[in-house]
Amino acid sequence: MDKQNTSPRGKGRVKTLLRLVEGSKRFFIGGILLAWLTSVLDLINPKIISFTVDAVIGNETASLSRWMQRILEKAGGREVLRGHLGLIALCVLGVALLAGIGRYAFRVLNVKGQEAMLRHTRNLLYEHIMALPLTWHNRNHTGDIIQRCTSDVDVIRAFLSEQLTTLIRMVVSILLSLGFMLTISPKLTGIVAIFVPLMIGFSYVFHKKIEASFEKVDAMEGKLSAIAQENLTGVRVVRAFGREAYERERFETSNEEYTGLWKHLMRLLSLFWATSDALAGLQMLAILVLGALLCLREEMTAGGYIAFLSYCGMIAGPVRMLGRVISGMSRAGVSIDRIRYILEADREVNTRADKKPQMTGDICFDHVSFAYDGSEEKVIDDITFTAPAGKVTGILGSTGSGKSTLMYLLCRLYDLEEGNGKITVGGVDLADMDRAWVREHVGIVLQEPYLFSKTLGENIAITDKDSSTQSIQDVARIAALEETIEKFSKGYDTFVGERGVTLSGGQKQRAAIAQTLLRDTPITILDDSLSAVDAQTDAKIRKELDVMHQSTRILISHRITTLMHADRIIVLDKGKVVETGTHESLYAHNGLYRKICDMQSPEGAMTHIPA
């Protein structure tokens, strides 16, 4: 089983976040320091204004602190400063300018940090996903994986570049503002101190509810993306079977559910924001009224009142934004968990050893049994047979008999569990070999090949970047694709479209055969990869392979004419080997093989069908 989100949620999120910001931490740290600096600079100007109103314009020098009295003395006294108010204005302007420069530098570092983080995260996720076993991909929808790698990554970017720095700046502003406010009026500061923890506690309660709602919304968005991806990929099938109305209804039902979840979340957020704004407004109203009363009683100076209101405004802004930051953090937490699900999935590893033997020996399946992940039913059950080196081994069986599974095991796309037999090549256990080495030396052509949005020539050459034009043409000829290519106006430069949409099924299969032949592997598997070509082309390809390609070949097919000339034929039924032999011996045995022969050729025996 994959190790999914095994670490505690909080600790796991921090660990994942640190992993995502590798290489960009210096930008974010620099941005946080600049955010602190601008917060401090923003708090200086209210003090300058308070000092000017009380000590320069007014006569409230007695209420000044010692360090402000010293500044007043060094400046030449109140009269000197009163005559040079322009200098004070320049000081205010200078502080504001420094704060502006700090904000600009913060934005620059922030943008560099988020772009570096995005680049690193995309590369990290792509590399990790490509290294995950096939069982993991079978359990997860492609659309959901894409949604995690796009939308969720963007949410994390917004959290790091906006919400996290905003939260840190808010904490600094609140703490420093409260400190300055305490020196002006402890009574009013007490009123503020009552509201701040109240709003923080209120935000924490909503945080839990918001996070749960975001989790449902993101999961539903992934499901919606999966439906869209499946239908866009299989649009031809949908239209061919007239399933547009059904698929549209299925999408609209999921979309309606997704919209309903968003509406519920927005109602929750609206209640949260409105309530937090109301609390912030009550706080400001209380300060205005009580501050005015204190000024009338001469318990506070006019300059102090102005400065206090300025600081109160600086606190009110961050406190009101706290709700939005909390909601953003809630969603970011969900997105981090969804990214963590991918990054903590177990990669493919070489479990026992990393041997790299020659792959030219006999292939032996020794009492092999296998069941797919999560299933108790064995797809193949106690299978034993040998595919001789340099020979052609045919495998015949009905759908679901385990033919393709045998080949996936041979490529180590799946691994055998302990006690379920072993597969050897030249006497060396496959489980002791390096995975990459095995796949490098075993070429497989699937029944449903996948072609990329490239030219035909590029698709053939995708298995060997250093291949020459001549070698591409040679394998195309062996795969009986050369005549087809000559009919295309652009030849090998013909663009095949997404998944090879412009080619027929047989053309795609032959292109896939050419891909595999270009690698010239010592073991070649053709997994029902001639099913879409006619019998004449089938025979032509097999004849060319016999002459030009002397590898150990395994042919999987439902077509007797494809297998009848194999050196050895294995007949599977319900995951077991029921017959083994040549075409002649199996036909004479009058078993399952003969029944299939007679069904495919009702007129009689197939012993004389030409190659």
The 10s digit of each residue's pLDDT in 34-44 is 887 887 787 77
DSSP 528: S
- With a cut of 80, say whether residue 322 has pLDDT above it: no
**Topology of domain 9-343, CATH:** ABC transporter transmembrane region fold (1.20.1560)
Average pLDDT, the chain: 80
**Nearest-angstrom CA–CA distance, 324 and 272:** 9
Q: Where are the CATH 3.40.50.300 domain residues in the chain? A: 363-600
Element (H, E) at 312: helix 302-343
Determine the Cα–Cα distance for residues 439 and 215; give it in Å rounded to an integer.
39
Query: Per residue in 216-267, pLDDT tens?
Result: 887 788 788 778 877 777 776 777 777 788 888 888 888 888 888 888 888 8
Pairing of strands 576-581, 568-573: antiparallel
Q: Once rounded to an integer, what is the mean pLDDT over residues 52-77?
A: 59
Instruction: For residues 172 and 179, give the distance between their C-alpha atoms in angstroms, rounded to a whole number.
Output: 11
> For residue 84, what pLDDT band results from cuts at 50, 70 and 90?
low
CA–CA gap between residue 339 and residue 218 (Å, rounded): 12
Q: In what order do the strands lie in the sheet with 552-556?
A: 442-445, 523-527, 552-556, 392-397, 568-573, 576-581
Q: Per-residue confidence at 150, pLDDT binned at 50, 70, 90? A: confident
Q: Yes or no: is domain 363-600 CATH 3.30.70.20?
A: no
- Note the pLDDT of residue 1: 37
Q: Residues spanned by CATH 1.20.1560.10 within the chain?
A: 9-343
CA torsion, ordered 426, 402, 450, 458, to nearest 10 deg? 20
CA-wise closest residue to 545 among 497, 513, 506: 513
Q: What percent of the chain has pLDDT over 70?
A: 86
pLDDT tens track for 286-313 = 888 888 888 888 777 777 777 777 777 7
403: which 2 tokens? 């033919």
Q: What number is the average pLDDT over the span 172-201?
A: 77
Cα dihedral 156/157/160/163 (nearest 10): -80
pLDDT tens digits, one per residue of 551-584: 888 988 888 888 888 899 999 988 899 999 999 9
Question: What's the confidence (pLDDT) of residue 62?
Answer: 47
How many angstroms separate the CA atoms of 137 and 132, rounded?
A: 7
- What is the model's pLDDT at position 377? 83
- Mention every residue, 6+ apart, whose C-beta is less than 8 A from residue 424: 363, 364, 366, 430
